[in-house]
Amino acid sequence: MRRMNSKICPVLSAKLQTQSNEELPVIVRVRENDTDNLNSLAHRMEGKVKRSLPLVDAVALNMSMGEIDRLSRDPNIEYISYDSKVFALLDIANPSIGGSFPREIGLTGEGVTVAVIDTGVAPHNDLVRPKNRLVGFKDFVGDKTSPYDDNGHGTHVAGIIASNGYSSNRKYLGVAPNANILAVKALDEAGSGNTSDIVSAIDWVVKNRDNYNTKIINLSLGSPANNSMNSDPLVRAVEAATKAGLTVIVAAGNSGPSAKTILSPGNSPNVITVGAVDDKRTPDTSDDTIASFSSRGPTKEGFRKPDIVAPGVSIMSLSNKSSDGYAASSGTSMATPLVSGSAALLYGKHKYLTPSQVKSLFVNSCTDLKDKYENQGAGIIDLRKLFKDEEKETPRTSPRPRSPRFPISPLPPKKEKKVASSNSFNEFIIVLVLVLLVLAIND
């Protein structure tokens, strides 16, 4: 039996113990910023390399177990992990988080771009009419150039963020109805993809962030946290994106109600990890409970997660089946874009916020659901608290006028009635008494 190798992830280590020599998809990482060794590795493995992953100092390729074992003994190799599968994690929600309040004070996310790394995004009316807010599309699955979604998950997520309600007479509005969507397809028609596909997608978003004014990455997906955080390619990728100034918002997972079920990369300390609430189809949060499927913390390393929760049961949003269709779906996948849309509103008001500031603002503006922290985090997001606090903290010389939802003709100004003050009345009495005294003296 082979000895355990600390440079190889647990999944591959288990395979090695079986003496199997099957070929497996792996991600091989060199030391951080060691570009020469990374290029040398890619050259040595020419013909086997599927993707170069410079964001995490790695390459993705297929190798036999024997090759993996031999390569792990190279002192220039830092870690070899299994290129595991990543899966998509599958009305009233908006009122439950106070979604109308930001719009009442003029915040709609206009000009802010959210990158949705998912199954793609279909060109639904609510995203492309009257103005096309699908500002870009990148396909890591089929290499197509026009936006599409052969699964539906990504379109549903994008609608929760940024639907303008064009086809529903504004009934199904996203949280940030004027925000832009950058659609990145990294999951296939079955809603799955390899870790290397997601890392490549994140890398592409980071490199192109200035071209699209991208502020947020929405990851309604996850994979079992088999590796330690320092060795997990997905965690390393989202950490790099956060360092680059992008706020990364990730689904906690649908593996509840057991403890320590937070998926990767939601186990990263620097992302905003979102659990799901069952809002019971009422806007009142007093009857809300944590959805049974929502993954619970803490992480395997002991970090407190999730960070916050949002509605994630029977959320109505855009369908990929037709350009004016809608569908309901549940999961932490649906809770996550509610937070991403809310972050777009924050960036619409304060464009230079850092990811840590965004996270802090959310955590400090939640409503406590009286559940354990490892179930609910800081609580359910509340945009009324978030933006009312913002209003208090930003003094202005004059109040900002609120834009009405519909055109309203101003009423003519009312004529003010003059009312005598008590001081005027007293002066009148004194004058009257003096007049009477003068008349009496003359008599």
Task: Provide the annotated active-site residues.
Answer: 118, 153, 333
Q: Which of 334, 355, 335, 358 is closest to 346 using CA atoms?
A: 358
C-alpha 254/C-alpha 269 separation (Å) is: 19
Phi/psi for 434 (5° steps) reads: -60, -40
- Do 383 and 176 meet the contact criterion of CB atoms below 8 Å apart? no
C-alpha 345/C-alpha 341 separation (Å) is: 7
Burial classification of residue 231, based on how many CB atoms lie within 10 Å of its CB (0-12 exposed, 13-18 middle, 19 or more buried): buried
Q: Which of 116, 132, 117 is closest to 166 using CA atoms?
A: 132
DSSP state of 129: S
- Do 179 and 167 meet the contact criterion of CB atoms below 8 Å apart? no
C-alpha 119/C-alpha 105 separation (Å) is: 34
Q: How far is CA 196 from the centre of its chain?
A: 21
Element (H, E) at 108: none
Tokens matching residue 79: 């870690």
- DSSP for 75-106, please give it: TTEEEEEE--EEEE----HHHHTTTHHHHHTT
C-alpha 380/C-alpha 369 separation (Å) is: 7
Tokens matching residue 429: 């009495």
Q: Which of 203, 343, 348, 208 is closest to 271 using CA atoms?
A: 343
Q: Give, in order, the Cα–Cα distances in Å from 354 to each of 48, 216, 237, 357, 360.
A: 39, 11, 18, 5, 10
254 in helix, strand or coil? coil
Residue 221's identity, in one-letter code, is L
Residue 214's identity, in one-letter code, is T
Q: Which of 133, 191, 136 is closest to 163 using CA atoms?
A: 133
Half-sphere exposure (Cβ direction) of 192: Cα atoms closer than 13 Å: 5
56 in helix, strand or coil? helix
- DSSP for 33-86, please give it: T-HHHHHHHHHHTTTTEEEEEGGGTEEEEEEEHHHHHHHTT-TTEEEEEE--EE
